[in-house]
Amino acid sequence: MSGDNKNPYDNICSQLEICTTQLGMDPGIHEILTHSKLIHTVSLPLTMDNGEIKVFTGYRVQHNDARGPYKGGIRYHYEVSMDEVKALAMAMTWKCAVIDIPYGGAKGGIVCNTKEMSIGEKEHLTRRYTTAISQFIGPYRDVPAPDMYTDAQTMAWIMDTYSVMQGYSVPEVVTGKPIELGGSEGRTEATGRGTAICLRECARSLDMPLKDATVVVQGFGNVGVHAAMTLSSMGCRIIGLSDSRGGIFNPEGLDPSKVLAHKIETGSVLGYPGSEELTNEEILELECDFLIPAALGHQIHEKNAGNVKARVIVEGANGPTTTEADEILSKNGVFLVPDILANSGGVMVSYLEWVQNINRQHWSLTEVNQQLESKLVTAYKNVWDMKEEMGVNMRDAALGMGVSRVANAIQQLGLFP
């Protein structure tokens, strides 16, 4: 679904360079921040159900741990690359700093197509990957979580494999687990819910009414589903939704719950009664109040940014907008809430799960959502205030906040030896 061929690591390094220039940062600190502390590539031989042996490639990139243990998801996708994982690990560092939780950034991935794999093959691949990186992860070292095409079951397999190797149960080694294994209430919907909360705060700051505000969501996966459902409950009108096969549009509004039921039954949002079918590219160019790109990276780029008619973009996905597109959108007056703020709800509730596991506690959904709400509202206000103070856009303000917090931690720690 990606519409741009720009290297994702080059893109995020370009954003970092813009940020550090604005901050007048020491070149040495900038140099540290452009490099990942540890990079792991593992070969994963696997006997498939038909007896054939295949070798998969897995990655785990640990960008920076100056503010705490590494934290980041694991994605299973045939387009996973080292540069993508490096970029996502760096973004996680800024994200954790922006929302002010004591983590550094990491990311992992395996190059595979889960749609062509059985449950057993996915389990064996997950356990092989966990074994390969087991010495580099741990509750106080690196805490993985779900990402694209991984879920609570994947995390259960990782937890079990790691626990067997340690000789005792270690639920705090991963987050996003099933509730029965120490998972947190509200974790599954946290990223989408957080995106909706950030959109709500944006509407308030721009004096835009939420009631009947038109919303388009590109990517009706976990993030897009929960963002759409939460916004619908807030009174927004969801007029466009899409998945990997295409999009649907109805100016009168779509019911996200009914669309989800249709997708579960048919495998796609396409064919939903009473809707017009569009391509993913057309979905991005619909006229609306709020556009939420919640699919893959680089969906909005220099070739299509000029066609975006949304008043506001709230980035539910990681890196959906390139630096070139940022410039075009800014010139066209499109307000943008960046990914490291807008989709930070997932890592926030992951942090809450980790804390619960360490203390062997379990909090109610109400308690979790209250803490999520409080953190996101504070983070949004802080980024908005920095934007106003520095006279920059929201991405530059969020990056400035995240990068400066990490840089300060590095300077206070010093360099060893």
Task: Let me know if 107 is a catalytic residue.
Answer: yes
Are the C-beta atoms of 238 and 254 separated by less than 8 Å?
Answer: yes
DSSP string, 358-399: HTT----HHHHHHHHHHHHHHHHHHHHHHHHHHT--HHHHHH
**Residue 154 and residue 184 in contact, taking contact as beta carbons nearer than 8 Å:** no
In sequence order, the 6+-apart residues with CB closer than 8 A to the CB of 164 are none
Distance between CA 321 and CA 417 in Å, rounded? 39
Token pair for residue 32?
A: 């540290």
**CA dist 89 → 107, 125, 287, 321 (Å):** 5, 22, 33, 17
Residues pairing with 321 in the sheet: 300
Q: Round to whole Å and give the CA distance between 48 and 219.
A: 30
Cβ atoms of 369 and 187 within 8 Å: the answer is no
The catalytic residue among 71, 86, 95, 107 is: 107
Alpha-carbon distance 39 to 139, whole Å? 19
- The Cα–Cα gap between 313 and 35 comes to 29
Question: Cβ distance 105 to 93 under 8 Å?
Answer: yes
User: Helix, strand, or coil here: 292?
Assistant: strand
Joined tokens for residue 352: 């809450």
Contact by Cβ (8 Å): 224, 280: no
Strand order in the sheet with 276-278: 276-278, 246-249, 237-243, 214-218, 290-293, 312-314, 335-337
Strands 237-243 and 246-249: antiparallel
Residue type, 245: R
Q: In 118-169, which ranges are continuous DSSP H helix?
A: 119-133, 152-166
Rama region for 195: left / alpha / beta (φ>0; ψ in -120 to 50; rest): alpha
CB 385 within 8 A of CB 201: no
For residue 206, the SS3 value is: coil
Pick from 80, 36, 84: nearest CA to 58: 80
205's enclosing H/E stretch is helix 190-205
Active site members: 107
